[in-house]
Structure 1
Amino acid sequence: MIRQFELVERVKAYDPGADEDLLNRAYVFSMKAHGSQSRASGDPYFSHPLGVAEILTRLKLDSASIVTGLLHDTVEDTEATLDQIEGLFGTEIGQLVDGVTKLSRLELQSDHTKHAENFRKLVLAMSNDIRVLLVKLADRLHNMQTIHYIKDPEKRRRIALETLEIYAPLAERMGMHEIKDQLENLAFAQVYPEAYASIVQRLSFLREQGTDLADQIIAELGAVLTDDGVQCTVSGREKTPYSIWRKMQKKRMEFEQLSDIMAFRIIVDDVTACYQGLGVIHSHYSMIPGRFKDYISTPKPNNYRSLHTGVIGPLRHRIEIQIRTYDMHEVAELGVAAHWQYKQGRPLMEGRQYRWLRELLDILEHAAGPEEFLENTKLEMFQDQVFCFTPKGDLIALPRGATPVDFAYAVHTEVGNTCVGAKINGRIVPLRSELHNGDQVEIVNSRAQTPSPTWERFVVTGKARACIRRFIRTQQRAQYIELGRAMIQKEFQHEGYEYADKSLDGVLKKFKAEEPEDVLAQIGEGMLGAREVVNAIFPGTRAKQVPDKVVPLNRQRAKAAKGSTAIPIRGLIPGMAMHFAGCCHPLPGDRIVGIVTTGKGVTIHTIDCETLESFAETPERWLDVAWDQDPNAADSHVGRLSVVITNQPGSLGSLTTVIGKNLGNISNLKITNRSIDFFEVLVDVEVKDVRHLTNIIAALRATPAISSVDRARG
């Protein structure tokens, strides 16, 4: 353990104006508060907060952060109170200690939901003051350094896994690569001990064999650069066991196949010298294609800046070289701590390097719960990046595999919600197209557009997925409420009553609902029966229920066809509150019936659909529905045709031409059977209504190449 005066001297060495008295008081208070407490290692407990403070001094943080490191466990593990901390050390430190304490309490839970909730709270806390995260990272690093003293192997693995999944990626996003590397390697040793031991053993062997080799490469690089007038410092750095293992997993390579276990750094005085040094290296050695990256002109989101290149270097070895200035190097190692601004009394929360934090807060706002937030955030943090540009030249960093929809949501939530098309480098492309480095992306918007549920299948960013899911949840609930209201109104009319939402107030508690809309949504979703709710409101109506017997199918179809009290089908987005059956593909103009499915809402069938026979014994699931379409609406519905065409050149072209000329749009086509003379084809056609489809069928039957055509059933 470092002594009191040593801690103060360390802080004063990089911050001469540090509050020496504050540091001394915090040291003594923490030591007395923890008293005789001890850790799993047997060391005094005070060694932990002191270790955290020592890590924070290596990051050269301000006095308030160092004091928070000393005090971060006092409220949780001793008799000290938050009011006492604020009284002795001020409101600022009290708030920082409170933020770290709340996170520590949540970490005691091993349940997955609490694990996700822990991360959600961490993001909220660091959004108010990012020093909470810095102290938390130092706390986690010191705990990982002593994790081997914990006897329970499952507990060690759980803590290490959380470190790999959350804290190491956060340290990387903060640009704190030194902390990230230490966290990853300590966690790697616990989660994958055999792989860790194997890589460490091989690295140790290579180190013994290749010490002279590395020295020769460093000497030659230094001489080449100096001879060409580039003043620099050259050093070699061995890649960490975890980064080696991850590369082996990602590229499916054996250890022996890796060529860049050593990375060489060239540190120069200014940006001009960076590019001058790069030119010297490329003029002396053969560059490896695809290995050059310029993070100076386009920095990473965490403000990391450097030139990376791969060359066949000295002694004909493939090597990786990083070229940067001394300032860039400090930022690369310490991240946000390297350009700390709390000394001026204002938090460093603006700038492009904090865009990711604002995006995490956006995801937090749109996520349904902690688990979804954790899932979407992992998507956000773990993938490699591509850099794209807006038409105005603004840089947008996205995960690899991102699409124009991801780009639109990265620009602004509203841009994503109203996206109808995209241009990449001036060419119109599908919304699911994958973006590549350097693409210029222009988003086409329309106020009439809303997010499509199908977008969720191809977006890769957490923010896009969270926004789409939120829209679907909101729309589904609104439609379930509308459908449920129509269903219960019909039951009220059947009993001779007039319906109003306040009629449900008396049964809210019975159905565990907070407001009438909750009950209506459950009815629309099929979780509650409208008759069940009416019976609860008017208990005397039970006698009027249909006797418990099987109703003949033809009577149910006849009842559904009357349409006098039918629920109108209008303004509902298919796939949410209602679903059009894939067996019969109902169209406006068909006589239809609804089947209530628990948890899915209503599935619409044509009245003569054979599938209805399977519901003959559950009359309570049948629902009278009828089309109520706006004749001027541009809605399209899918009708399915079964077509037999002659097997001769141009037949398929005739089929598609006739459908196109009659304003039908083919959405799917499948050849189901083929012979020497004929092909049998299923064609899905987008049409306005059943009359539109009938016209297309008539036109197809008049075409010589078409042998027969019918509307497909089943």
Structure 2
Amino acid sequence: VAFEEVYDLFAIRIIVDSSPEKEKEECWKVYSIITDEYNPSPERLRDWLSNPKSNGYEALHTTVMGPGGKWVEVQIRTKRMNEIAEKGLAAHWKYKEGKDDSSRFEKWFHQIREALSNQDASSLDFLQDFKTSFLTEEIYVYTPKGDVKMLPVGATALDFAFTVHTAVGSKCIGAKVNHKLVPISHKLRSGDQIEIITSSKQKPNPEWLNFVVTSKAKSKIKDTLKEEKRAIAEEGRYTLQRKLEGMNAVMNQANLDELANFYKLNSSLDLLYEIAVKKIDLKELKEFTVHGDKLIPPKPVKEEVKEPEHFTKPDNRKDTELIIFGESSDKIMYTLANCCKPIPGDDVFGFITTGEGLKIHRTNCPNATRLLSNYGHRVVKTKWAKNKEISFLTGLKIIGLDDVGVIHKITNLISGELRVNISAMTIEARDGIFEGNVKVFVHDKDELDNLVDELLSLPGIERVDRYDTE
């Protein structure tokens, strides 16, 4: 921060003697008196009266231009607010007597209890979660019904979902922030309104831990993943037990730890899980020897390092020759311009090139303005003739929610119901949102527009845009 940007070199604190029911009113009166006398900096106003910090801090901060042209920070608090700010959370209970409403402190302590209840977390993980969840600045976001939720800076849509309810977070596939579809990793800002989109088929996955920041979200995701891992590991336990019985060995914790160490895994749970998912086939088990109840591993053998093989995928792309039909098509050869790839039904014009004959461009082609303004004498009026025997290649970009079966619905609609030929299709999914590029052969623009409308009618599809194929 530059020295010129430091506004609190000079600060004044005003303590107001006020009754609890008139605190806000009288603090704002003091603010009005000060700003009537001195010019305030509007962007430096901090209203922690309406939205106190999660640690209980309440005050009104502003910065005014004082005598001599110096910025002065002014802090306005009541006696109660000052005692809580100076003496910490314990001072809160002095003022809470006679109140039975749920305070933000109770929520704050509840969050800390949740973090402490996670028995599997290491001390380093706990300290990191504590810093990111409780000691950072907060943002204030809203539910569709207008309820306020506090989250640490950097919180994502998935953090918000877990704040609403663990079941909502576990089934979250996407969100709408200010009515705009976003992935679950989208970082929230103060003032955002969030609507969570869920699916009964969704479940937490390890990638979620890369972007959530709240301790509740992290602990619930880890718990779910561990429970799922334990359930799968039971199958691995049964497989290993049969193998050990065949060697007259005992299934005990010491032998499990020995095997986990041999396969360089962190725990016996990881060992049983990897056996269950067939990552470990236990072929090396025959090299172990049994002494009493104990498994003795073989002596380590230096492995020969193999150079990775490189494979080159064959290029299966096939150039498609496209022909356009218009007036005098029996006399002049028409070719499509690669810059805009027009199809029948598009508004087009012909342009006479030097050496390449007549090329057809769309009127909204990126080069259209330059060609029409600079080479008007080489422009030819062109119109399309109906010819349902010729197909034209064009591309569609599809964006929507990544739900189970969505790709099947898209391909079934295009190829099955509308009988449109698909040339190529690529799909990428990230954080609950998929983006697909589909190249299709259509006869004209009407057929393309109908295809777009039908795709948009599918559940979960947000946008369908045409793009120019290469």
Cross-structure match for 2:377? none
Once the 2 structures are TM-superposed, how far is the Cα of residue 422 of structure 1 from its aligned partner? 2.4
Cross-structure match for 2:282? 530
Residues of 2 paired with 1:303 and 1:434: CA distance?
Answer: 25
Cross-structure match for 1:262? 10
Residues of 2 paired with 1:653 and 1:357: CA distance?
Answer: 61
Once the 2 structures are TM-superposed, how far is the Cα of residue 262 of structure 1 from its aligned partner? 2.0
1:4-41: CA deviation from partner (whole Å, max 9, x where unpaired): xxxxxxxxxxxxxxxxxxxxxxxxxxxxxxxxxxxxxx
Residues of 1 paired with 2:398 and 2:270: CA distance?
Answer: 49
For 1:461-540, list aligned pairs within 5 A.
461-479=214-232, 481-482=234-235, 505-506=250-251, 508-512=253-257, 520-521=272-273, 523-524=275-276, 529-533=281-285
Q: Is the 8 A contact 1:488 1:534 kept in 2?
A: no
Once the 2 structures are TM-superposed, how far is the Cα of residue 334 of structure 1 from its aligned partner? 1.4
Residues of 1 paired with 2:95 and 2:33: CA distance?
Answer: 40
Q: How many residues align?
A: 325
Q: Is the 8 A contact 1:264 1:322 kept in 2?
A: yes
Residues of 2 paired with 1:285 and 1:319: CA distance?
Answer: 10
- Between stretches 365-374 and 291-300, larger displacement belongs to 365-374
Name the amino acid aligned to 1:280: I
For 1:427-442, list aligned pairs within 5 A.
427-442=180-195
Q: Is the 8 A contact 1:488 1:530 kept in 2?
A: no
Q: Kindly tell me: are residues 322 and 641 of structure 1, through their superposed partners in 2, closer, same or farther at Cα, counting changes over 3 Å?
A: farther
Once the 2 structures are TM-superposed, how far is the Cα of residue 448 of structure 1 from its aligned partner? 3.0
1:452 aligns with 2:205: yes
1:173-200: CA deviation from partner (whole Å, max 9, x where unpaired): xxxxxxxxxxxxxxxxxxxxxxxxxxxx
1:685 aligns with 2:427: yes
Give the % identical residues: 32
Q: Is the 8 A contact 1:487 1:524 kept in 2?
A: no
Q: Kindly tell me: are residues 520 and 486 of structure 1, through their superposed partners in 2, closer, same or farther at Cα, counting changes over 3 Å?
A: same
Higher relative contact order (CA 8 A, sep 6+): 2
Q: Is the 8 A contact 1:645 1:706 kept in 2?
A: no
Once the 2 structures are TM-superposed, how far is the Cα of residue 266 of structure 1 from its aligned partner? 2.1
Once the 2 structures are TM-superposed, how far is the Cα of residue 412 of structure 1 from its aligned partner? 3.0
1:363 aligns with 2:112: no
Name the amino acid aligned to 1:654: T
Name the amino acid aligned to 1:685: I
Cross-structure match for 2:70? 317
Cross-structure match for 1:307? 60
SS of alignment partner, residue 186 of structure 2: coil
For 1:231-242, list aligned pairs within 5 A.
none
1:654-694: CA deviation from partner (whole Å, max 9, x where unpaired): 244799999359xxxxxxxxxxxxxxxx974369xxxxxxx
Residues of 2 paired with 1:314 and 1:528: CA distance?
Answer: 76
Cross-structure match for 2:410? 663
Q: Kindly tell me: are residues 521 and 329 of structure 1, through their superposed partners in 2, closer, same or farther at Cα, counting changes over 3 Å?
A: same
Residues of 1 paired with 2:411 and 2:67: CA distance?
Answer: 66
TM-score (norm 1): 0.38
CA RMSD of aligned residues (A): 5.0
Cross-structure match for 2:340? 649
Q: Kindly tell me: are residues 508 and 640 of structure 1, through their superposed partners in 2, closer, same or farther at Cα, counting changes over 3 Å?
A: farther
Name the amino acid aligned to 2:214: T
SS of alignment partner, residue 320 of structure 1: strand
Once the 2 structures are TM-superposed, how far is the Cα of residue 290 of structure 1 from its aligned partner? 1.9
1:253 aligns with 2:2: yes
Q: Kindly tell me: are residues 269 and 511 of structure 1, through their superposed partners in 2, closer, same or farther at Cα, counting changes over 3 Å?
A: closer
Name the amino acid aligned to 1:512: D
Once the 2 structures are TM-superposed, how far is the Cα of residue 380 of structure 1 from its aligned partner? 1.6
Residues of 2 paired with 1:438 and 1:276: CA distance?
Answer: 26
1:296 aligns with 2:49: yes
1:518-576: CA deviation from partner (whole Å, max 9, x where unpaired): 7533534788652344676999xxxxxxxxxxxxxxxxxxxxxxxxxxxxxxxxxxxxx
Residues of 2 paired with 1:505 and 1:437: CA distance?
Answer: 58
1:386 aligns with 2:132: no
1:622-654: CA deviation from partner (whole Å, max 9, x where unpaired): xxxxxxxxxxxxxxxxx9996577854249982
Q: Is the 8 A contact 1:368 1:470 kept in 2?
A: no
Once the 2 structures are TM-superposed, how far is the Cα of residue 307 of structure 1 from its aligned partner? 1.0
1:422 aligns with 2:175: yes
Q: Kindly tell me: are residues 521 and 640 of structure 1, through their superposed partners in 2, closer, same or farther at Cα, counting changes over 3 Å?
A: farther
- Between stretches 467-476 and 522-531, larger displacement belongs to 522-531
Name the amino acid aligned to 1:523: I
Residues of 2 paired with 1:291 and 1:452: CA distance?
Answer: 41
Q: Is the 8 A contact 2:10 2:71 kept in 1?
A: no
1:592-634: CA deviation from partner (whole Å, max 9, x where unpaired): xxxxxxxxxxxxxxxxxxx9969xxxxxxxxxxxxxxxxxxxx
Residues of 2 paired with 1:482 and 1:409: CA distance?
Answer: 31
SS of alignment partner, residue 273 of structure 2: helix
Residues of 2 paired with 1:423 and 1:658: CA distance?
Answer: 18
